[in-house]
Amino acid sequence: MTETPNTDWNAWQTSWDRQQEWYLPDREERFRVMLDMVEAFAGAEARVLDLACGTGSISGRLLERFPKAVSVGVDLDPALLAIARGTFADEPRVTFVTADLTDPAWTAKLPYDSYDAVLTATALHWLHVEPLRALYGQLAGLVREGGVLLNADHMPDESTPRINAADRAQRHARMDRAKAEGALDWRAWWELAAADPVLAGPTAERFEIYGEHADGETPSADWHTTTLREAGFAEARTVWRSPSDAMVLALK
């Protein structure tokens, strides 16, 4: 990739945040709770694995709150990693690794053998349940004793269909209003990236890897907590919840 000196990586980072917030208006709240749990279990100098890191949204908030923390961001998306690497080019506390989480050998690319915390948000729904189960087993081997894994993602409760329908209708009405006021959705954001001279190449490569969107699954929070215990974590439960999403914490 040929980078021009005028690439405004912070603008791309902000643009990604706004696009994500169109879908997730409580995005910052889940990040706050996530970092509260990092502080509670790993402390202010934690070594963190930012899993499926995208543009480095979690890493940025981690380092801002905990200046002595270090982060390793892992992703396969070349466009989002380009933004992450550009944004944090002068930041020695964060390292980015290109790896496919469905590759059984992906952990060999990591710079450390163990981590105080593994953090991920709105990402693992790209996986089907069996690859996710295998991934949880690998992560149990990376988290130190007393360390934690936190996953915030779409975790619907299918036992409450009327509640789910009402929430969905309310969310879509809000999103429609925001879009009418100029908010970018997923497709519009990627169209901008594809038109950018620096990101066009990585964006084309990204769509060759992933296609248009995930074909993964969104099991319930109960499935996640049960599977995490089976993977080798001592305790696991939900520590944050919205009408459609949840965050589970697993303690090694």
Per-residue pLDDT of the chain (252 residues; tens, 9 = 90+): 444 458 999 999 999 999 999 999 999 999 999 999 999 999 999 999 999 999 999 999 999 999 999 999 999 999 999 999 999 999 999 999 999 999 999 999 999 999 999 999 999 999 999 999 999 999 999 999 999 999 999 999 999 999 999 999 999 999 999 999 999 999 999 999 999 999 999 999 999 999 877 679 999 999 999 999 999 999 999 999 999 999 999 999
Q: At what angle do helices 200-210 and 78-87 cross, to 10 degrees?
A: 140
Cα distances from 64 to residues 57, 75, 145, 203, in angstroms, run 11, 21, 26, 28
How far is the C-alpha of 226 from the C-alpha of 34, rounded, in Å? 20
pTM assigned to the model: 0.95
Q: Are 216 and 127 in contact (CB under 8 A)?
A: yes
Q: Which tokens go with 203?
A: 């964006």
Answer left, alpha or beta for residue 187, where phi above 0 means left and psi between -120 and 50 means alpha: alpha
Sign of the C-alpha dihedral computed for residues 43, 132, 134 and 228 taken in this order: positive
Q: Exposure string (b/e) for 80-105, b if CB count within 10 Å is 16 or more? A: bbbbbbbbbeeeeebbbbebebeeee
Which of 74, 49, 75 lies closest to 62 in space, CA to CA?
Answer: 49
Q: Which residues contact 22 (CB under 8 A, 6 or more apart)?
A: 175, 178, 179, 183, 184, 185
How far is the C-alpha of 228 from the C-alpha of 5, rounded, in Å? 45
* Residue 139 parent element (H or E): helix 129-142
The helix/strand count (H/E) of the chain reads as: 9, 7
**Rg of the chain on CA atoms, in Å:** 18
Which pLDDT does position 6 carry in this prediction? Answer: 80
How far is the C-alpha of 184 from the C-alpha of 155, rounded, in Å? 24
Q: Which tokens go with 64?
A: 């801002």
Which pLDDT does position 80 carry in this prediction? Answer: 98
